[in-house]
Structure 1
Amino acid sequence: MNLIFTILCAFPIGYFVRPRGRALLVYLFLDCFVFTYQTSTLVMEWVQGSEEAFGGHTQRNMAFDGKPLSYGAVNLIIALAGMGLVFLAGRMREQWAGRAARRDVIGVD
């Protein structure tokens, strides 16, 4: 879910929201909601016995096998990639605007 949001929304947010810092804040704000929803959904499934996201658990002792850390690391990488896409889109918008402005200038000799 977080990956889909990043792929579909990070570049358009970076391209259409100005300035770049505001675009980054918009992306991070929306990503926080997506990440929270994704995590709460996975935790609810895990409590009901699913072992897909965080591994299995027993009634009293929860085995720590590194899956929660890997889940956090993967989502951190996705968020950093999304921030990179936001910055890339802002930079591309500036370059395209600069090229368009140079084409509009008429030289008079």
Structure 2
Amino acid sequence: MELIVTLVVAFPLGFFVRSRAAACIAYIAVHSFVFSFQNTELVREWSGGDYSAFPKDPGTMPWSYVLVNAVIYAAGFGLVTLGHAVRARLRRRNARAVDLAH
């Protein structure tokens, strides 16, 4: 769920929100909500006996889960930055095309 939301939300935030800092903060807000909901569902499944996301022993750190989520989170910031860069490039190209003074 976190991956899908990141792919759907991050680039448009970077593209449509003028300030990159505001787009990053909006991404943090969306990601925090989705991550919390996803984590709650996985813990519910783990307490019911499904050990596919978390190990059976509660004292063991699920490093693979941490790593995958960190990569998805970082990729989201990369997509926000990419969306912002694409918007800036399109604005520069359109500004040169409309410049009638030169």
Bin for the TM-score computed over the shorter chain: over 0.9
Secondary structure at the residue paired with 1:53? coil
Runs of 4+ off more than 2 Å:
none
Alignment pair present for 1:83 and 2:57: no
Q: Superposed, which structure 2 residues align to 1:1-109 within 5 Å?
A: 1-57=1-57, 62=58, 64=60, 66=61, 68-107=62-101
Task: Tell me the C-alpha RMSD between the 2 structures.
Answer: 1.3
Q: C-alpha distance in 2, partners of 1:96/1:18? A: 13
**TM-score (normalizing by structure 2):** 0.93
CA shift, 1:18, in A, is 1.5
Q: Report % sequence identity.
A: 40
Q: C-alpha distance in 1, partners of 2:101/2:26? A: 40
Listed one character per residue, the Cα deviations across residues 64-105 of structure 1 (whole Å, up to 9, x for unaligned) are 2x5x12101110110000000000100110110010010001
CA shift, 1:63, in A, is 5.5
Q: C-alpha distance in 1, partners of 2:29/2:41? A: 19
Unmatched tracts of structure 2, length 5 or more: none
How many corresponding residue pairs? 102
Secondary structure at the residue paired with 1:82? helix
**TM-score (normalizing by structure 1):** 0.87
One-letter amino acid of the counterpart of residue 91, structure 1 = A
Q: C-alpha distance in 2, partners of 1:92/1:63? A: 45
